[in-house]
Structure 1
Amino acid sequence: MKIGLVGSYGSPAQMVRLAREAEQHGWDGFFTWDGVSLDEPGMDSIPTYDPFAILAAVATATERLTLGALVFAPPRHRPWELAQSALTVDHLSGGRLVLPVGLGVTIDRAFTSVHGQPSAMRDRAELLDDVLAWLERSWTGEPFTFEGEHVSTGTFRFPQPPVRGRIPVWPVAVWDPDRPPLKSLNRALRWDGMVPQVRGVDPEQGEASPEQLATLVSWIAAHHDATRGPFDIVHQGRFSADRGKAREQATAVAEAGVTWWIESWWDPEVATPDFLLERARQTP
């Protein structure tokens, strides 16, 4: 199992320093987040930055870390601009970029504050599928046109493909073992991994149990087409400050079949730049 760290809050310079420290102390990945500045309670004092600009800077300051965001919200991005940004970071990093993706939070004024943006979750889901399909077409290096549910374009061509031929995509998917598979699970199976959102567990307040993750891993093993290559299960967690307990947490989740633990702290009163830097210096 690989272990990554989210740079939740801080200036761009602090994020680059955090990533360098994480690499020096043995972490496997560094992740930022994809948000916009909104004038609403709880968000009006939190500055947001372009995730691809942050990752481009981190790419030039590191050599080994997998890079991404938890999570990118493609329905807020124009596909051709998203493709260009992702391709730039992919090449700067030597092919270390991954794309965890989702619909955006349920109530997201970044959609409702702009006329013409889809606000209904179903529309955002269709747009997410369009954007991902568009991205994949752009990686072929061949000319293409596109006609989707919400995206329609004339001829585009990105003559330089990603370093490794494609960029891994990890969609957010809902897991509920007591209900039939949801559309988000079927979406994830078409790609390279998933960021599970276990029904009833708020990732900002708690985390899925090893038992819940093990049932998900078993379901994926039964339904994933192995000929498509490896499939990542990406768990957002928070290690205990006690090293022994943290080792037990990691062991339990790894034995459940998870391939990535992403250390994720979202409370801005806790996840200060100094707190995150201290976490990065604790060799995982």
Structure 2
Amino acid sequence: MGFRLSSGAVSAPRVASTAFHDDTWGEASFGTPAQHVRLAQECEEHGWDGFFTWDAISMDEPGFDTMATWDPFGVLAGAAAVTERITLGAMVFALPRHRPWELAQRALTVDHLSGGRLVLPVGVGVPSEWGFTSVPGAPTELRDRAAVLDDVLAWLKRSWSGETFSYEGERLRTGDFTFPVAPVRGHIPVWPVAVWDAARPPLKSLLRALRWDGMMPQVRGESPEDAEAGPEAMRELVAWIAEQRGPDAGPFEVVAQGRLDADGGKAAAQARAMAEAGATWWIESWWDPSTSTPEGLLEKVRQGPPRL
């Protein structure tokens, strides 16, 4: 679930997990396909701004190796059918594992089913994903996955032109394809993952995100929780983004992730700190399969997003 912290300018934040208008929220979750779809419906009913499922096939991680994973576009198609307002996406689409022509078709389908509410948070995937390590020839090194990510994004953008195109990139080459129907709004917003380090900013991932519609910031860390950017890092990053994009640039989403405190007052303070730092979305992300149950997530959704 997620919620918006602002309207999309880098000067103000949003929250995602489940969502609320003008300060947006959303959520990523576990459970059956039916439970995912119900959670999306409850997100909309309880004032969240977004619902985010997750993209994985088979994970070599404790707890994840015994639980089912589902096609994110199938889940989002179901969510699109029972909602009217909230943003839909996944945390995050591992694009180097997807065939771009199939990705384009599936994304376009959900985009049209939802009336243009799909967003594409994207990244290189994780090393523990057997969809990489168990497939001969699949890119496993970070540098290789990043190169494939760039090719897939470039291919996807070409597919939205409505024209026949071929493609020849660093790691991807195809002949002619045509997708004659464009996305509802002409393109689907893309939010790449980027790493922020004020002392040593990894420019390649940061500049990639600046070419698109938003950014999923991470900091350097040993675990997903360690990599979540706090308010200070977010403030530094937002200032850097504003400097790079200039005063006349359009809206740009900066998406924070984390887990809000169970206490409503503390949760509101957390969200307010991120909003003041410049984040535009908050994604409520619960990733521990031993504790993050569908029932617990549903209870969180029904509490609604914090009031800033």
Both proteins in one fold, TM over 0.5: yes
Structure 1 unaligned regions, length at least 5: none
**Contact 1:7-1:18 at 8 Å conserved across structures:** no
Residue in 2 that maps onto 1:33: 54
TM-fit CA distance, 1:216: 0.5
TM-score of the two chains, using structure 1 as the length reference: 0.96
Verify: 1:209 aligned to 2:221, yes or no: no
Work out which of the residue numbers 58, 71, 76 in structure 1 matches 2:79: 58
Counterpart Cα distance in 1 of 2:89 and 2:280: 15
What residue identity is the alignment partner of 1:4? Answer: A
Residue in 1 that maps onto 2:255: 234
TM-fit CA distance, 1:237: 1.4
SS of alignment partner, residue 150 of structure 2: helix
TM-fit CA distance, 1:268: 1.1
Verify: 1:165 aligned to 2:186, yes or no: yes
Counterpart Cα distance in 1 of 2:49 and 2:59: 32
What residue identity is the alignment partner of 1:37? Answer: S
With 227-236 and 161-170 compared, the bigger mean Cα shift is at: 227-236
CA gap of 1:146–1:176, structure 2 versus 1, over 3 A, is same
Counterpart Cα distance in 1 of 2:206 and 2:109: 29
TM-score of the two chains, using structure 2 as the length reference: 0.89
**Equivalent residues, number:** 284
Counterpart Cα distance in 1 of 2:127 and 2:226: 16
Residue in 1 that maps onto 2:23: none
TM-fit CA distance, 1:124: 0.8
Counterpart Cα distance in 1 of 2:106 and 2:78: 13
**Contact 1:4-1:29 at 8 Å conserved across structures:** yes
Verify: 1:4 aligned to 2:16, yes or no: yes
Tell me which of the two structures has the higher relative contact order, counting C-alpha pairs closer than 8 angstroms and 6 or more residues apart: 2
Work out which of the residue numbers 120, 140, 143 in structure 1 matches 2:161: 140
TM-fit CA distance, 1:39: 6.3
Counterpart Cα distance in 2 of 1:87 and 1:116: 28
SS of alignment partner, residue 9 of structure 1: coil
Q: C-alpha offsets along residues 95-125 of structure 1, whole Å, 9 cap, x if unaligned?
A: 0000000000134322120112111111111
With 221-230 and 55-64 compared, the bigger mean Cα shift is at: 221-230
Residue in 2 that maps onto 1:20: 41
Residue in 2 that maps onto 1:279: 300
TM-fit CA distance, 1:223: 0.5
Counterpart Cα distance in 1 of 2:164 and 2:248: 27
Counterpart Cα distance in 1 of 2:228 and 2:94: 21
Work out which of the residue numbers 235, 239, 243 in structure 2 matches 1:218: 239
Verify: 1:129 aligned to 2:141, yes or no: no
CA gap of 1:132–1:228, structure 2 versus 1, over 3 A, is farther
Q: C-alpha offsets along residues 243-280 of structure 1, whole Å, 9 cap, x if unaligned?
A: 11111111110010100000000011221001000010
Q: C-alpha offsets along residues 227-253 of structure 1, whole Å, 9 cap, x if unaligned?
A: 663111000111111011111111110
Counterpart Cα distance in 2 of 1:181 and 1:16: 37
SS of alignment partner, residue 277 of structure 1: helix
With 32-41 and 124-133 compared, the bigger mean Cα shift is at: 32-41
Q: C-alpha offsets along residues 211-231 of structure 1, whole Å, 9 cap, x if unaligned?
A: 111000000000125666311
Counterpart Cα distance in 1 of 2:290 and 2:87: 27
Structure 2 unaligned regions, length at least 5: 6-13, 18-26
CA gap of 1:225–1:215, structure 2 versus 1, over 3 A, is same
With 34-43 and 210-219 compared, the bigger mean Cα shift is at: 34-43
Residue in 1 that maps onto 2:197: 176
What residue identity is the alignment partner of 1:257? Answer: G
TM-fit CA distance, 1:180: 3.7
| Aligned ranges 1:21-100 → 2 under 5 Å | 21-38=42-59, 41-100=62-121
